[in-house]
């Protein structure tokens, strides 16, 4: 039964991560084109830092780093009169009140906490990719549009919200749909973050080493489980491809791009 929940876990992760990382990306991209220099630097570094390093390293890094950061902050707030050092050799020691989740918390809290750490990690990493795509899309909005907005006397903020943001999506969508495909394909990495997802169950079930599964008449079925996962992902990608094509066609309507022009001509 838990195995079927695991599929739900993956879908839930996608459902939460996609908007959150889009928000991260939007924030990053707006920061990167801001007029305030420090803000621009933060945005640009955020985009740049995720490049060049394997993502899986980020996934492994952020889960521990975020966990420790949260515990450290809680530790500073909740136990101000703690005098022992936090790093003792190979241990990371905080007072019991600052432990996350609390030591006496039920199991499901632990699971939820692990899952939200995973979501946050995914959101940070994919937010950087999305920021890069959106930054490019904002630059791609035709200059004439922006100049017209200025000619109408719009402020910078008005231009941003009324001209750039509504028009950038058509330029961003190819990049974003690419990112969505990548996000789908990154979900098995959840397994590395300690969440009991489908990879976990595919490994566990049918492996002959588990004593409570030896009753099964079959030998090692893991190959077929992973084969099924492969097909699941293939179907999922194909489905997204079809849906994204539709959205693209819808977004192109009335845009000043080659595809928009073609649509207009086909209709006429």
Partner 1 sequence: MECLDTIADYALRSIGIGERLLPRSDFTLCQQFTLIGSGMLWNVYFGIVALCTGFFLATTVALGKAARNPWVRKPSEWFIFVFRGSPLFIQFFFAYFLFLSLKNVYPIFSSLTSAWAGALVVLFLNTAAYSGEIFYGALQSIPKGDTEAADAYGLSGWARFRRVIWPTMLRLAWPAYTNEAIFLFHATTLVYFSGFPAQQQRGDALYYANYFADKTFNPFVPYPILAGYFILLTLIVIGGFGLMNRRLNRHLPQEARKKLKIKPQIIR
18 forms part of the interface with partner 1 (CB under 8 A): no
The Cα–Cα gap between 94 and 96 comes to 6
218 binds partner 1 (CB under 8 A): no
Shortest distance in whole angstroms from residue 155 CB to partner 1: 32
Among 35, 37, 90, 104, binds partner 1 (CB under 8 A): 90
Show the tokens assigned to 66.
């975020």
CA distance 83 to 75: 11
Q: Does 53 interact with partner 1 (rule: CB under 8 A)?
A: yes
**Does 204 help bind partner 1 (rule: CB under 8 A)?**
no
For residue 142, give the 3-state DSSP assignment. coil
Collapsed DSSP state (helix, strand, coil) of residue 222: helix
CA distance to 73, 77, 93, 98, 240, per residue, from 81 (Å): 14, 10, 14, 13, 54
Does position 227 interact with partner 1 (CB under 8 A)? The reply is yes
Of positions 76, 162, 238, 253, contacts partner 1 by CB under 8 A: 238
Provide, rounded to whole angstroms, the least separation between the CB of residue 129 and partner 1: 6
Stretch that binds partner 1, among 23-31, 47-55, 243-251, 256-264 (CB under 8 A): 47-55
Residue 91 near partner 1 by CB under 8 A: yes
Chain centroid to Cα 42, Å, comes to: 19
Helix (H, G, I), strand (E, B) or coil at 88: strand
Choice between 146 and 248, CB closer to partner 1: 248
| DSSP H or E segment with residue 87 | strand 87-88
135 binds partner 1 (CB under 8 A): no
| Residue nearer to partner 1 on the CB measure, 186 or 251 | 186
List, in order, residues 6 or more apart from 244 with CB less than 8 Å away.
Answer: 173, 177, 180
Contact residues: partner 1, CB under 8 A:
47, 50-57, 60-61, 64-65, 68, 87, 89-92, 128-129, 132, 178-179, 182, 184-189, 191-192, 199, 202-203, 220, 222-223, 226-227, 229-230, 233-234, 237-238
């Amino acid at each position: 039964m838990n195995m079927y929940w695991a599929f739900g876990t993956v879908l839930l992760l996608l459902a939460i991560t996609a908007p959150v990382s889009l928000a991260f990306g939007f924030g990053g991209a707006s920061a990167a084109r801001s007029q305030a220099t420090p803000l621009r630097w933060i945005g640009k570094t955020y985009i740049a830092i995720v490049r060049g390093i394997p993502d899986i390293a980020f996934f492994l890094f952020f889960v521990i780093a975020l966990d420790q950061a949260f515990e450290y902050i809680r530790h500073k707030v909740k136990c101000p009169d703690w005098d022992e050092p936090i790093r003792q050799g190979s241990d990371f020691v905080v007072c019991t009140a600052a432990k996350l989740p609390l030591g006496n918390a039920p199991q499901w809290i632990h699971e939820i906490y692990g899952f939200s750490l995973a979501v946050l990690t995914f959101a940070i990493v994919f937010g950087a990719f999305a920021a890069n795509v959106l930054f490019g899309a904002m630059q791609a909005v035709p200059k004439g549009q922006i100049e017209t907005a200025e000619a109408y006397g719009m402020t910078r903020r008005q231009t941003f919200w009324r001209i750039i943001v509504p028009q950038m999506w058509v330029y961003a969508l190819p990049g974003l749909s690419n990112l969505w495909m990548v996000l789908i394909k990154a979900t098995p990495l959840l397994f590395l973050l300690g969440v009991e997802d489908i990879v976990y169950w595919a490994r566990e079930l049918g492996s002959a080493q588990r004593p409570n599964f030896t009753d099964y008449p079959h030998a090692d079925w893991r190959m077929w489980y992973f084969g099924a996962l492969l097909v699941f992902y293939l179907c999922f990608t194909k489905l997204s491809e079809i849906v994204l094509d539709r959205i693209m066609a819808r977004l192109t309507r009335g845009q000043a791009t080659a595809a928009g022009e073609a649509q207009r001509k086909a209709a006429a």
